[in-house]
Amino acid sequence: MQIGQQKVVSVTYRLQSSLNGVDFEIVEETGTEFPLVFLFGSGQLIPDFENNLSGKIMGDEFSFIIASENAYGPVDDEALVRVGMDMFKVDGVVDMEILRVGNVIPLLDRDGNQLAAKILSIDDDTVLLDFNHPLAGHTLQFDGKVVEVREASEEELTHGHAHTPGMHDDHEQEH
């Protein structure tokens, strides 16, 4: 069976990234125990990732590069935000164990949506945060293998994502 619309796909892969398109470093690696399982065409993955897998079958190996502009985009300077140190006070105290350069911290926007920000710098009264995706500006290289391709179930199509064993057990037991 070929990878295409309404198919559930399982792949193992090694993801490497590079800021200069030459020197690649491993970012993530999946094995056969925990492959990436997804509903093809559901819009949850980088479109070029899916485009490079389209038409492949179980057992096919793949290797492709996705330019930063087709992955997570360039670094957006508007996503660098300087905020007051007071924002991080709890009961009048800033936890300096959490507030460290390089840490990624969870924050909520005005609408209650959770965001992740990397702390770039800290001075006496402000903190510079980076809300860019960690791989913004990076060229990505994927090397892997297709381990399974199957038809999506009606439930998976309705939910808009692939189901893995045990994923909806609690919900199913309620009926």
Using only C-alpha atoms, what is the Rg of the chain?
20
**Under CATH, which architecture does the 7-72+135-173 domain have?**
Roll (3.10)
Q: What is the pLDDT of residue 40?
A: 96
Query: CATH top-level class for 77-130?
Result: mainly beta
105 and 119 Cβ atoms separated by less than 8 Å: yes
- Are both 7-72+135-173 and 77-130 of the same fold? no
CA distances from 108 to 14, 18, 86, 114, 136 (A): 32, 30, 15, 5, 21
The domain spans of the chain are 7-72+135-173, 77-130
157 and 8 Cβ atoms separated by less than 8 Å: no
Contacts of 123 (CB under 8 A, 6+ apart): none
Q: What is the pLDDT of residue 165?
A: 65
How would you write the pLDDT of the chain (175 residues) with one tens digit per residue? 999 999 999 999 999 999 887 899 999 999 999 999 999 999 999 999 999 999 999 999 999 999 999 999 999 999 999 999 888 888 888 878 888 999 999 988 889 999 999 999 999 899 999 999 999 999 999 999 999 999 999 999 999 999 876 555 444 444 4
Token duo for residue 170: 């609690």
